Amino acid sequence: MPTSHWAPKTVVKISFYRDPETGQIDHLAPFQVSNRAGRYSGSYEDEPQILAEIEPDTGTAYFEAQWVGERWVFGRRVADEGW
């Protein structure tokens, strides 16, 4: 398959936005996803497997993911790491 449609698993950084009025992390808002190379990044929402693995005060988390087609397919959460 061409690499534009498939890539091996990697670790991606997921960053959650804060509510501008309260300053609280808003896990129901779309979140930003990026890989280290910055080649594939974007805004995602409605990903129940991500929300199931985070704590209420989590602002940034790292997940195993694979770029398939035009989007990330998320796997398990991995240990937080320096980015």
| Domain-embedded: residue 41 | yes
Report the pLDDT averaged over residues 32-61. 90
- Please calculate the CA angle 71-25-33 and round it to the nearest 5 degrees: 15
Q: pLDDT tens for residues 9-45?
A: 899 999 999 999 998 999 889 999 999 888 889 999 9
The SS3 call for residue 77 is strand
C-alpha–C-alpha distance, residues 77 and 82, integer Å: 15
Position 8 scores a pLDDT of: 84
Alpha helix (H) residue ranges in the chain: 48-52
| Domain-embedded: residue 3 | no
* Domain boundaries, position 66: 10-78
Alpha helix (H) residue ranges in 8-83: 48-52
Amino acid, res. 28: L
| Count of structural domains within the chain | 1
